[in-house]
Amino acid sequence: MIPCISLFPNAQFYDRKILHSSNVLSPSYDKDYTCLLYGSYTLINVTDGREDKEGTGNSR
């Protein structure tokens, strides 16, 4: 996991005990997230949204 993504859960839930592997910290592991619409995190607020459930348990 990218260190900037694990920063919050590591601090809040794991008392900063999660360690990152050296391959995650290497420059070759760095990913380009500029193609994502809002960066590496996307939260969409769906006001008055509705979820339909089919008989099989799948949502659509």
HEC letters along the chain: CCHHHHHHHHHHHCCCCCCCCHHHHCHHHCCCCCCCCCCCCCCCCCCCCCCCECCCCCEC
pLDDT of residue 15: 94
Mean pLDDT for 23-35 is: 73
Model confidence at 58: pLDDT above 70 = no
Are the beta carbons of 33 and 10 closer than 8 angstroms?
no
For residue 8, the enclosing domain spans 1-30
> What is the average pLDDT score of the chain?
77
pLDDT of residue 59: 56
Q: Is residue 42 part of a domain?
A: no
Q: Is residue 35 part of a domain?
A: no
| Maximum average pLDDT range among 24-28, 29-33, 41-45 | 24-28
Q: Is residue 46 part of a domain?
A: no
Are the beta carbons of 44 and 15 closer than 8 angstroms?
no
For residue 3, the SS3 value is helix
pLDDT of residue 57: 63
